[in-house]
Structure 1
């Protein structure tokens, strides 16, 4: 059973596409919209697993302000600029899809920003900062950006966005802190770091895969009914994410350490598509919702591959002294 529990963590590059395919196939033949309320619960579990052992004081610490400043510049100047250029060139004949792309670009960070940062062993407190500030600024600025970019004012419920932040970030954080305090009565810090913390990582990934499954399965029919627009949306989104990955990675490598760099990439490339798709469907219609749905698939698949490549090439994890000593001993022998 434990091997099954650890499977998604060990084979992440297989788990994400497999979940996408299963979600799409089941969603084609069955209505899974009744599962929509469970997404919030799964998101809370996903974040909760990464929050056990999180230190509250790190959220308000001055340390990490540098990565926050870079994220604000990228999220609210560069990324909207990239979306606008793609919109006025490639999506000129599809203004509704352009609106959907704009919404995807204007709402940065999600619960998965924290989860993926934890999976890649980046700076989780920094990722929490980026998530909170990104959602707050995004909710305040999105209506005005949309007015400029697509010429239509879209009302964003700021109080509802604050409620979302409290539920998906602060509630798991508090629950994680309570859990940690309870565990500390039974384990030492060293035992917690070596035994308990690694055992929580697969739980976060299982919850993430569940969110992916439900989100894709609910919209499988929409994708099938709009195949003529699928290719256009896919090409635009691949270009959008590729450009954003390159920009964020270059900034991270040039100006930040490994942990902050991982948090920056995840906090600028990953968009809050759950909020975006709700706004797209209610304010613009099916075509806008379609491109956000495809963005969800591209985003989930690309971050899995990016994380694998980054850990091998530009965000290599430093070896600890014990590992280096073992290597030296092996060479001598």
Structure 2
């Protein structure tokens, strides 16, 4: 049982594709839309685990101001420009799909931002800041960006977005703090860091995989029944995410340290597709929802592959200078 429990964490590159395949197979033969209300609870669990032992004082620190400013520049200027350029050139004959791409581009960060930052051992407090600011500003600015980009003003439920922020960020933070205080009565800090925290980590991965499974399986029929549009949507999304990864990585490597750089990439590449697909269905119809649905697949595979490459290359954990400079003593 323990091997099964830790399998997704140890083999993340395999776990995500397996989840996607399973989602398509089950979604093609069964209706999993009844599971959609449970995604919110899974998101809370996913974030809750990463919040146990979180240092809340770091949220009010000015230390994360630099990464926050870069994220705002990328999320609300560069990314919309990328989406607009791709939409005007590749989706000019499919305006509703263009609208779906715009929605995906204009709603940055989600619970996945915090979770993936924790998985990659980045700056989690910075990721929390990016998530909160990204959701708040995104909900306010999205209608006006859409008016310029696709010519239609779409109402965004700002109060609903605030409720989402409270549910997926602040409630897990509170629960994580209470849990940490309880654990500190039973374990030392050293025991918590070496035994308890690593034992809890796979729960967050399982919750993340469940979210991916439900999000994709619930829309498997839509994907299968629109094969003629899938190639176009997939091509556009691969280009969209590739450019986003490249831009964010450039800023992260050039201007930030490792921890903040990881938070920046996850806070600017990962989009809030759950909110985006709700707006797409309500405002633009099936084609818009289709491209956001495929974005779920591209985004999850993209961050999984990127994480593996990044942690071996530009975000590799370096040996301490002390170890590097230590020379063997002569006998």
Q: TM bucket by the smaller chain?
A: over 0.9
The answer to whether 1:152 aligns with 2:152 is yes
User: Displacement of 1:61 after TM fit?
Assistant: 1.1
Secondary structure, in 3 states, of the residue corresponding to 1:53?
Answer: coil
1:170-319 paired onto structure 2 within 5 Å: 170-319=170-319
| CA–CA distance in structure 1, aligned partners of residues 300 and 327 of structure 2 | 41
In the other structure, the counterpart of 1:43 is 43
Unaligned runs of 5+ residues in structure 1 are none
- State the Cα distance separating 1:327 from its structure 2 match: 12
Deviation at 1:34, TM superposition (A): 0.8
Cα offsets for 1:104-142 (capped at 9, x unmatched): 000000000000000000000000000000000000000
| Alpha-carbon displacement from aligned partner over 1:74-129 (angstroms, at most 9, x marks no partner) | 00000000000000100000000000000000000000000000000000000000
Normalising by the residue count of structure 2, what TM-score does the alignment of the two structures yield? 0.97
> How far, CA to CA, are the matches of 1:243 and 1:274 in structure 2?
22
Secondary structure at the residue paired with 2:156? coil
Give the alignment of 1:96-175 within 5 angstroms. 96-175=96-175
* Structure 1 residue 325: Cα displacement: 5.7
Aligned partner of residue 64 in structure 1, secondary structure: helix
TM-score by structure 1 length?
A: 0.97
The residue number in structure 2 matching 1:78 is 78
**Displaced runs of 4+ in structure 1, greater than 4 A?**
324-332
* Partner SS, residue 319 of structure 1: coil
Gaps of 5+ in 2: none
Task: Please report the RMSD computed on the Cα atoms of aligned residues, expressed in angstroms.
Answer: 1.8
Deviation at 1:312, TM superposition (A): 0.3
Report deviation, 1:330: 10
Taking the aligned partners of 1:215 and 1:239, their CA distance within structure 2 comes to 22
Q: Can you list the C-alpha shifts for 1:216-254, whole angstroms capped at 9, x where unaligned?
A: 100000001110000000000000000000000000000
Q: CA deviation at 1:320?
A: 5.3
CA distance in 2, matches of 1:4, 1:327: 41
Per-residue deviation, 1:326: 11
After TM superposition, give the deviation of residue 47 of structure 1 in Å: 0.3
Structure 2 Cα separation of the partners of residues 33 and 329 of structure 1: 61
- 1:157 and 1:193, CA in 2 relative to 1: closer, same or farther beyond 3 A? same
C-alpha deviation, 1:329, in angstroms: 9.8
Deviation at 1:2, TM superposition (A): 1.2
